[in-house]
């Protein structure tokens, strides 16, 4: 993961940001790969332009999901690697951790993917992601001015999200 960290491995991870936000970056995608939402609270290193960054993130998740499902030792039916799966089918990964960050992931059966990048000592964020999904439902899905499948531009969603993210440990 060259572009997300420094060059050398440092044993101690950076402390949570001084601004009080406990998350670094958040992405939200729909099933067609459209980046519905991107928010950064703390991202010191940026190497790609936003479109490439989003595509890369989506591609990474797509491949990771496929890989983890195929490597599942408990499931019986395995198609070939690369065969598309229905969202939610099979096992799904929910986070990975490096020495500098932790990436938590949630996908709903309707294909909405929520990704949260936080500091490495963060606990299990599955409930937090579910809560963010319900925020999305309240302020975005139910918003008549929002066109489904397009990037989210809802102030209420932004403020509520900010408030919630501040409280994640």
Partner 1 sequence: MSRASGPRSGDAIFASVERVNAELFTLTYGAIVRQLLTDLEEVEEVNKQLDQMGYNIGIRLIDEFLAKSNVSRCVDFKETAEMIAKVGFKMFLGVTASVTNWDADGTCCSIVLEDNPLVDFVELPDTCQGLYYCNILSGVIRGALEMVSMKTEVTWTRDMLRGDDAFELQVKLLKQVPEEYPYKEDD
The residue ranges that bind partner 1 (CB under 8 A) are 31-33, 55, 58-59, 62, 83-89, 108-112, 123-124, 126-127, 130, 133-134, 136-137, 141-142, 148
Measured from the CB of residue 20, what is the shortest distance to partner 1 in angstroms? 22
Quickly list DSSP for 11-55: SSPPPPPTTS--EEEEEEE-TTS-EEEEEES------S-HHHHHH
Choice between 103 and 112, CB closer to partner 1? 112
Choice between 10 and 89, CB closer to partner 1? 89
Choice between 42 and 141, CB closer to partner 1? 141
What does the CA dihedral 18, 20, 24, 25 come to, rounded to 10 degrees?
Answer: -140
Contact between 26 and 165 under an 8 Å Cβ cutoff? The reply is yes
Measured from the CB of residue 106, what is the shortest distance to partner 1 in angstroms? 11
């Amino acid at each position: 993961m060259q572009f997300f960290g420094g060059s050398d491995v440092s044993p101690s991870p950076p402390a949570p940001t001084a601004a009080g936000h406990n998350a670094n970056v958040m992405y939200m995608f729909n099933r067609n790969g459209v980046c519905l939402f991107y928010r950064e609270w703390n991202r010191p290193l940026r190497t790609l332009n936003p479109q490439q960054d989003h595509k890369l993130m989506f591609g990474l998740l797509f491949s990771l999901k496929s890989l983890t499902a195929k490597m599942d030792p408990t499931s019986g039916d395995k198609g070939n690697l690369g065969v598309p799966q229905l969202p939610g089918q099979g096992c799904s990964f929910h986070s990975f951790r490096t020495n500098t960050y932790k990436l938590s992931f949630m996908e709903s059966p309707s294909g909405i993917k929520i990704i949260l990048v936080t500091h490495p000592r963060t606990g299990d964020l599955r409930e937090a992601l579910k809560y963010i999904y319900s925020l999305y439902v309240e302020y975005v899905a139910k918003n008549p001015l929002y066109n489904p499948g397009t990037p989210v531009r809802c102030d209420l969603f932004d403020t509520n999200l900010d408030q919630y993210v501040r409280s994640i440990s």
